[in-house]
Amino acid sequence: MILRRLLPTFALFLSGCAGTLTGYPSLAKRAVENAPVGEVPAASVAVEADPAVQAQVDRLARQAQAGNDAFDKAWPAADRTARAAAGSAVSSEAWVSAQLAISALEAARNDSVSALASLDTLYVQRSNALAEGKAEGTVDQIDTARKAALAIVDSQNDRLDAIKSRLAQP
């Protein structure tokens, strides 16, 4: 009984293999591969930065720096409070004071985080406009400011993580 089922399966298998005996495709170059390629585009010409975009980028860069300055100003008090609360039990007065100082520190950096988010959005919008041919220029001016804002936010994150690591977690 098993042989009856196996015989048609084996026959189908062999018929599928028979079609491959006609030969393999050639690996030789085809005529289309030797055809000349279209004109090589000329080297891209440096395009002046868009003044409206540059004004927006400058405003956001100043906002990121203002957030960094506010963070730096609030840092010493939060650092002192967290050091004093190190080893304190969760919900103790020292721990709660440290949490409040961390919250104030988070609020102080709001401008930096907001500027980074706005620069990210602007970067994507400008990239899309360039890709669709709706704008000319580059995203270099935005990318430079975005990288600076990202460095500010990353530094703030590292400092916040250092403070939070000193405190007991609920």
Residue spans per domain, the chain:
51-166
What's the average model confidence in pLDDT over 1-9?
A: 72
Q: Is 83 exposed, middle or buried (0-12, 13-18, 19+ CB in 10 A)?
A: exposed
Among the ranges given (31-35, 87-91, 128-132, 164-168), the one the predictor scored with the smallest mean pLDDT: 31-35
96 Ramachandran zone, left/alpha/beta (phi>0; psi -120 to 50): alpha
pTM of the model: 0.68
User: For residue range 9-45, what is the model confidence (pLDDT) as tens digits?
Assistant: 777 676 666 655 556 666 777 766 666 665 444 434 3
User: For residue range 123-134, what is the model confidence (pLDDT) as tens digits?
Assistant: 999 999 999 988
In degrees, to the nearest 5, what angle opens at C-alpha 105 toward C-alphas 87 and 120? 130
Distance CA 10, CA 14 (A): 6
Which tokens go with 54? 């540059």
